Amino acid sequence: MANAGYSENRRDHILDDARRFYSWLGVDFQKPLSRRVEKFPFIPIEVEVNALVSGVGPKLSSYMRLVKETGARAGEIWQLQWTDIDPSTITINPEKGSRPRRPKITGSAMASLGS
């Protein structure tokens, strides 16, 4: 395991799985010490997001534009009804313990919903 070439986080997950497996077998297994490496998530810049949105089909583009402009979760977007959409805002029904909200959207996002 030490020479396998795994990242620290991957090695830690594998050792956790091994510990659970040996516990299930009734075999004592002491997990070796390892250190978790915390990394910053990759956050694309707006130009990259816009390039992605413009490079997909019209339905997926409308969906991605709403996610980008509202910050809504995927399930919240899929649950939208036409009655939730006003000329400049969208009423988002909460999911996963969040709160209902009514973010503003641009005219281009509104126009993409009609297509």
**pLDDT per residue as tens digits for the range 23-61:** 999 999 888 776 777 888 999 999 999 999 999 998 899
* Same domain membership, residue 97 and residue 62: yes
* Same domain membership, residue 100 and residue 63: yes
* Same domain membership, residue 70 and residue 30: no
pLDDT of residue 57: 92
Instruction: For residue 33, report the phi and psi dihedrals to the nearest 5 degrees.
Output: -65, 140
* Same domain membership, residue 51 and residue 29: no
Instruction: For residue 56, report the phi and psi dihedrals to the nearest 5 degrees.
Output: -110, 175
| DSSP E strands, 23-63 | none
Q: Hey, how many other C-beta atoms are within 10 angstroms of the C-beta on 64?
A: 20
Based on the structure, what is the number of domains in the chain?
2
* Same domain membership, residue 94 and residue 72: yes
- What pTM, to 2 d.p., does this model score? 0.60
Q: With cut-offs at 50, 70 and 90, classify the pLDDT of residue 102.
A: very high
**What percent of the chain is predicted at pLDDT more than 90?**
37
* Same domain membership, residue 79 and residue 109: yes
Q: Are 93 and 76 in contact (CB under 8 A)?
A: yes
Torsion of CA 96, 97, 98, 99, to 10 degrees: 130
